[in-house]
């Protein structure tokens, strides 16, 4: 059983559409990160959220941390083919000393 559940696992959409990816857990996290991973490469950090209810924006990407710090969402507006990749959420549990638990990932494909 994964500590962090991501949904959906796969998403195939047309360019210009909006989408939301969810990351849910029954555990509380002191911080939560979102990464993007492309084939043959390691994950690259997109954002870190630390405060319950926090919202961060990165161009067309909006990240939200749940009030209880147990869940998070990633919303992409007007998706582009360059957004294609594997999106991973990862949480640092309280007092875990930088140790991350990753979700299973959401594989996004944006078709032109």
Name the residue with tokens 């507006």: 77
List residues binding another protein (CB under 8 A): 2, 4, 6, 30-31, 33, 40-45, 48, 50, 88, 90, 92, 95-105
Toward another protein, which CB reaches closer, 50 or 78? 50
Q: Is residue 72 a contact partner of residue 33, using CB atoms and an 8 Å limit? A: no
Alpha-carbon distance of 48 to 38, in angstroms, equals 19
Toward another protein, which CB reaches closer, 2 or 80? 2
Toward another protein, which CB reaches closer, 9 or 77? 9
């Amino acid at each position: 059983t994964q500590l962090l559940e991501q949904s959906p696992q796969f998403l195939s959409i047309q360019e210009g559409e909006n989408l939301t990816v969810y990351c849910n857990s029954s555990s509380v996290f002191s911080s939560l990160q979102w990464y993007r991973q492309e084939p043959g490469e390691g994950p690259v950090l997109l954002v870190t959220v630390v405060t319950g209810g926090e919202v961060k924006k990165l161009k067309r990407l909006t990240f939200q941390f749940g009030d209880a710090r147990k869940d998070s969402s990633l919303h992409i507006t007007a998706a582009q083919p360059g957004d294609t990749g594997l999106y991973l959420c990862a949480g640092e549990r309280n007092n875990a000393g930088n140790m991350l638990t990753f979700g299973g990932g959401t594989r996004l494909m944006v078709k032109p």
